[in-house]
Amino acid sequence: MTDVVVAVDAMGGDRAPEEIAAGALAAATESGAGVLLIGQEEAVRPLLPADLPAGFEFVHASEVVGMHDDPAVGVRTKKDSSLVRCAEAVRDGRAAAMVSAGNTGAAMGAALLRMGRIKGVARPAVAVPIPVPGSGPTVLLDAGATVDCRPEWLVQFARLGAEYARVRHGIEAPRVGLLSNGEEAGKGDELRKAAHPLMAALPGFVGNVEGRDVMTDAVDVVVTDGFTGNVLLKGFEGALRMMVNLVFGALGATEEAEKASEVIMPGLLAAAADLDPDGTGGAMLLGVDGVCVISHGSSSARAIVNAVRVAADAVTAGIVDRMKESVRDAS
Amino acid sequence: MTDVVVAVDAMGGDRAPEEIAAGALAAATESGAGVLLIGQEEAVRPLLPADLPAGFEFVHASEVVGMHDDPAVGVRTKKDSSLVRCAEAVRDGRAAAMVSAGNTGAAMGAALLRMGRIKGVARPAVAVPIPVPGSGPTVLLDAGATVDCRPEWLVQFARLGAEYARVRHGIEAPRVGLLSNGEEAGKGDELRKAAHPLMAALPGFVGNVEGRDVMTDAVDVVVTDGFTGNVLLKGFEGALRMMVNLVFGALGATEEAEKASEVIMPGLLAAAADLDPDGTGGAMLLGVDGVCVISHGSSSARAIVNAVRVAADAVTAGIVDRMKESVRDAS
């Protein structure tokens, strides 16, 4: 049992509050972290047992920032929303980290508003672990926080991403690539061409990498702007969904195939386990002065347990202080 | 048998000239199009039979633009390269279309240099059919021709792409989407935010689409800049390769699984046939004053046959005139 308390937004996500509350309860007993669940009393309280587990606390917040709320407006006007209260809990030291499966833009807005940025960081970035079956994940950032980027911001993302890969995935000397439309140094749009020479001095910089390299063991951290990163991340999602449908369609196409697939299915599911987004622990917002884990929109209870674990581990590893140092060293 | 002659670059591609020559020969007999194969005499002639098929002609060109040549320099200095000679053949009316599996940037450079742009088109775009198993492909453009784009160029890409979807895939009223990081109209970076209102007036415009929509039947034409399009295209490639390895790994993991997979394999391969890049006929460079098909780098003979067929069909359908009209109507 650690003393790390993680604030969990009970109202964020497609399966909120049921799955979030279930995950928060499980996390309090399984993960070793304390949990501060924040949400609407009337919606959440009925989901909780009369006897709350040790290390679990529930706090009422009257408002909800929805998936279709404008993120900036939502966090500014809904001051008593579960999301804003989570970020506030981190700012005030009541929690050491926050987890939300809600609106990514709003989570970023709340974190920026209440926790603020790390001094010297111009813009935050969302780091997402992209699964690579058979080896550790590749960290892709920015996956959507900062869509219009300056070259020097990409350099900061590279520093933050490398630190994240060290702390989160235990990669001592991460290989960092700049996502581009070709491997040669001269390849890229204006942003990439300007960023490449600035990144050349970074430890572990391997030069340009392409979309096809992300899901391989060729690189540990892939840096891009939030627009391109988001498009690529969702492209992966779509391609995997298509392939899963295709494979399962073929396995169930005939009675004979269905019978044969019984033999194959266990191995296939085991191999595909790495791809389950509920198992990754979610994305992390880097560059803010606190730990903020953003779990995917359809998070199950298990996804929340993993997100709480990842958040607590990041706190224990001192990830924010390490990022502060990494940025300070650079300036 | 039509009168359409397609110029084929014998020297472009990882498997040139063997597979290209074999494909060109097969195309002349199978596709109904005439073929003008251009390449180095000493490398290509030994691959050809003494009696050339009807409608097949070979022309010597002394130089080769390689995969690692700078595209702009390559096409400007190697005036007697197979690639430049192919584009010249189209300009001079000796061929009606060209096919190359070589350096995409160089193919674009040669086409621009020798064929020129369609009047009114600011920049060319590469259109790639992205396979969607169970329905027709989605046309993604630009996949790499123009990496830094202005908003009005994206509007032109949309017009060109819609015409391409009509002619090439027989979609009467294509649904056109703007690739962005969210579906809402306000989502996107500066380029997308500026392009969205300009595209709103286009027939068939469905608004923003996301990376996950490309491999679905939700949209027929997806418009983006050449940087993002190239990253996404190669991301798809990487994700599919990863999944194929994963599935085949599981199918061959144990003797039992291997045996069961014999039953499943035919259905799986049939379902996956849509994903074979050799079957798509390649990408097409839009906005130039001629038909230019760019086949993928590792094209087999079969890929070349399909590319020649697609090129000849595009000529027969009058694709360039239709694009000229589409652009003229807009101005």
Give mean pLDDT, residues B79-107: 95
Cβ pair B211:A233 closer than 8 A: yes
Check if the beta carbon of residue B285 is closer than 8 Å to that of residue B114. Answer: no
Average pLDDT, chain B: 93
Specify the pLDDT at position B1. 45
Q: Which of B239, B259, B270 sits opposite A215 (nearest CB)?
A: B239
Residue B108: inside a domain: yes
pLDDT of B2 strictly over 70: no
* Model pLDDT for residues B274-305, shown as the tens digit of each residue: 888 888 788 999 999 999 999 998 999 999 99
- Contact residues, chain A, for B243 at CB < 8 Å: 239-240, 243, 247
Is B166 in the same domain as B223?
yes
Is A148 in the same domain as A115?
no
- Name the A residues in 257-276 with CB < 8 Å from any B CB: 257, 259-264, 267-268, 270-272
Specify the pLDDT at position A91. 96
Check if the beta carbon of residue A306 is closer than 8 Å to that of residue A278. Answer: yes
User: For the whole model, what pTM was predicted?
Assistant: 0.94
pLDDT of B137 strictly over 50: yes
Structure tokens of A217?
């063991």
B interface mutation test: which of A132, A135, A212 has the most B CBs within 10 A?
Answer: A212
A interface mutation test: which of B128, B215, B275 has the most A CBs within 10 A?
Answer: B215
Pick the residue from chain A with its C-alpha nearest to B242: A215
Specify the pLDDT at position A67. 81
Residue A24: inside a domain: yes
Give mean pLDDT, residues B161-174: 95
Structure tokens of A88?
């506030």
Residue A282: inside a domain: no
* Model pLDDT for residues A160-185, shown as the tens digit of each residue: 999 999 999 999 999 999 999 999 88
A35-65: b (≥16 Cβ within 10 Å) or e: bbbbbbeebbeebbeeeebebbbbbebebbb
Cβ pair B179:A242 closer than 8 A: no
Give mean pLDDT, residues B31-37: 93
Residue A160: inside a domain: yes
pLDDT tier, A258 (very low <50, low <70, confident <90, very high otherwise): confident
Specify the pLDDT at position B267. 85
Is B33 in the same domain as B96?
yes
Cβ pair A260:B263 closer than 8 A: yes
pLDDT of A146 strictly over 70: yes
Is A134 in the same domain as A257?
yes
Is B26 in the same domain as B75?
yes
The percentage of residues in chain B with a pLDDT greater than 90, rounded to a whole number, is 77
Is A116 in the same domain as A201?
no
Check if the beta carbon of residue A209 is closer than 8 Å to that of residue A222. Answer: yes
Q: How far apart are CA B193 and CA A89, in angstroms?
A: 35
Cβ pair A214:B235 closer than 8 A: yes
Is B297 in the same domain as B246?
no
- Using a CB–CB cutoff of 8 Å, tell me whether B180 touches chain A: yes
**What separation in angstroms does the CA of B69 have from each of B37, B74, B112, B240?**
22, 6, 17, 29
Residue B330: inside a domain: no
Stretch among A114-123, A246-255, B287-296 having the lowest mean pLDDT: A246-255
**Collapsed DSSP state (helix, strand, coil) of residue B297:** coil
Task: Specify the length of chain A in residues.
Answer: 331
Residue B329: inside a domain: no
A interface mutation test: which of B196, B224, B228 has the most A CBs within 10 A?
Answer: B228
Specify the pLDDT at position B24. 97
pLDDT of B78 strictly over 90: yes
- Assign residue A265 the CATH number of its domain: 3.40.718.10
- Contact residues, chain B, for A241 at CB < 8 Å: 212, 215
- By residue range, what is the domain housing residue B199? 123-279
Pick the residue from chain B with its C-alpha nearest to A144: B181
Pick the residue from chain B with its C-alpha nearest to A235: B211
User: How many angstroms separate the CA of residue B167 from the nearest CA in chain A?
Assistant: 26
Q: Verify cis geometry, omega within 30 degrees of 0, for the bond prior to B131.
A: no
Residue A18: inside a domain: yes
pLDDT of A107 strictly over 80: yes
- Using a CB–CB cutoff of 8 Å, tell me whether B179 touches chain A: yes
Q: How far apart are CA A224 and CA A232, in angstroms?
A: 10
- Using a CB–CB cutoff of 8 Å, tell me whether A130 touches chain B: no
User: How many angstroms separate the CA of residue B117 from the nearest CA in chain A?
Assistant: 21
Q: Is A204 exposed, middle or buried (0-12, 13-18, 19+ CB in 10 A)?
A: middle
Cβ pair B250:A260 closer than 8 A: no
Is B196 in the same domain as B255?
yes
Pick the residue from chain A with its C-alpha nearest to B268: A250
Is B179 in the same domain as B91?
no
- Using a CB–CB cutoff of 8 Å, tell me whether B249 touches chain A: yes
Domain total of chain B: 2
Give mean pLDDT, residues B233-248: 92
- Contact residues, chain B, for A262 at CB < 8 Å: 260
Stretch among A262-276, B28-42, B199-213 having the lowest mean pLDDT: A262-276
Residue A149: inside a domain: yes
pLDDT of B102 strictly over 60: yes
Check if the beta carbon of residue B247 is closer than 8 Å to that of residue A268. Answer: yes
Check if the beta carbon of residue B104 is closer than 8 Å to that of residue B279. Answer: no
pLDDT of A330 strictly over 80: no
- Contact residues, chain A, for B261 at CB < 8 Å: 260, 264
User: How many angstroms separate the CA of residue B211 from the nearest CA in chain A?
Assistant: 4
Check if the beta carbon of residue A247 is closer than 8 Å to that of residue B251. Answer: no
Specify the pLDDT at position A1. 45
**How many CB atoms are closer than 10 A to CB B146?**
23
Is A202 in the same domain as A269?
yes
- Name residues whose C-beta falls within 8 Å of residue A158's C-beta, 6 or more positions apart in sequence: A176, A178, A199, A202, A205, A221, A223
pLDDT tier, A216 (very low <50, low <70, confident <90, very high otherwise): very high
- Using a CB–CB cutoff of 8 Å, tell me whether B298 touches chain A: no
Is A152 in the same domain as A238?
yes
- Using a CB–CB cutoff of 8 Å, tell me whether B246 touches chain A: yes
User: How many angstroms separate the CA of residue A87 from the nearest CA in chain B?
Assistant: 24
pLDDT tier, B328 (very low <50, low <70, confident <90, very high otherwise): confident
Q: Which residue has the higher pLDDT, A207 or A272?
A: A207
Q: How far apart are CA A288 and CA A119, in angstroms?
A: 9
- Using a CB–CB cutoff of 8 Å, tell me whether B135 touches chain A: no
Give mean pLDDT, residues A10-20: 95
The alpha carbon of residue A7 and the mean position of all alpha carbons in its chain are separated, in whole angstroms, by 15
- Using a CB–CB cutoff of 8 Å, tell me whether A255 touches chain B: no
Is B155 in the same domain as B83?
no
Give mean pLDDT, residues B157-165: 96
Cβ pair B211:A237 closer than 8 A: yes
- Using a CB–CB cutoff of 8 Å, tell me whether B214 touches chain A: yes
> Look-up: residue for tokens 């017009």?
B159
- Contact residues, chain B, for A193 at CB < 8 Å: none
* Model pLDDT for residues B249-279, shown as the tens digit of each residue: 888 888 888 888 888 888 888 888 888 888 8
B286-299: b (≥16 Cβ within 10 Å) or e: bbbbbbbbbbbbeb
pLDDT of A2 strictly over 60: no
**Virtual CA dihedral for B66, B69, B72, B74, nearest 10 degrees?**
-60
